[in-house]
Amino acid sequence: MSELSGYGDGTRSVRAGEDPAVPGAPLRPSPVFAAPFHLGDQPPNGAVDFYARTGQPTLRVFEDAVGELDGGRCLSFATGMAALTAAVLACARSGDRVVLPSDGYYATRLLAAEELTRFGIEVQYVPTPEIGRVAADGGLAGASMVLLETPSNPQLDVCDIAAVATAAHAAGALVAVDNTTATPLGQRPLALGADMTVGSDTKALTGHSDVLLGHVSVTDDALYARVKGFRDRTGGTPGPFEAWLGHRSMSTLDLRLARQAANAAAVVELLAGHPAVSNLRWPWRPEDPSFALASRQMLRPNGVVSLELADEAAVSRLLGASRLWAAATSFGGVHSTIDRRAQWGGDDVPAGFVRLSCGIEDTADLVADLRGALDRL
* Residue 15 among the catalytic residues: no
* Residue 203 among the catalytic residues: yes
Q: Residue 22's CB: how many other CB atoms inside 10 A?
A: 7
- Residues paired with 10 in a beta bridge: none
Residue 265: closest CA among 216, 224, 300: 300
Which residues fall within 8 angstroms of residue 287, CB to CB, at 6 or more apart?
272
- Residues paired with 278 in a beta bridge: 308
Of the residues 12, 73, 203, 228, only one is catalytic, namely 203
Of the residues 73, 96, 105, 317, only one is catalytic, namely 105
Please state the length of the chain. Answer: 377
Spatial distance between the Cα atoms of 353 and 349, rounded to a whole number of angstroms = 6
Q: Residue 341's CB: how many other CB atoms inside 10 A?
A: 22
Long-range (24+ apart) CB contacts under 8 A made by 361-367 are 361/263, 361/324, 361/335, 361/336, 363/259, 363/262, 363/263, 363/266, 365/324, 366/263, 366/266, 366/267, 366/324, 366/325, 366/336, 367/266, 367/267, 367/270
* Residue 365 among the catalytic residues: no
Which residues fall within 8 angstroms of residue 64, CB to CB, at 6 or more apart?
16, 17, 74
Spatial distance between the Cα atoms of 310 and 108, rounded to a whole number of angstroms = 28
Spatial distance between the Cα atoms of 232 and 330, rounded to a whole number of angstroms = 27
Of the residues 9, 96, 157, 178, only one is catalytic, namely 178
Of the residues 15, 53, 248, 371, only one is catalytic, namely 53
* Residue 178 among the catalytic residues: yes
User: What is the strand order of the sheet 326-327 is part of?
Assistant: 278-281, 304-308, 353-357, 337-340, 326-327
Q: Which amino acid is at 168?
A: A
Catalytic residues: 53, 105, 178, 203
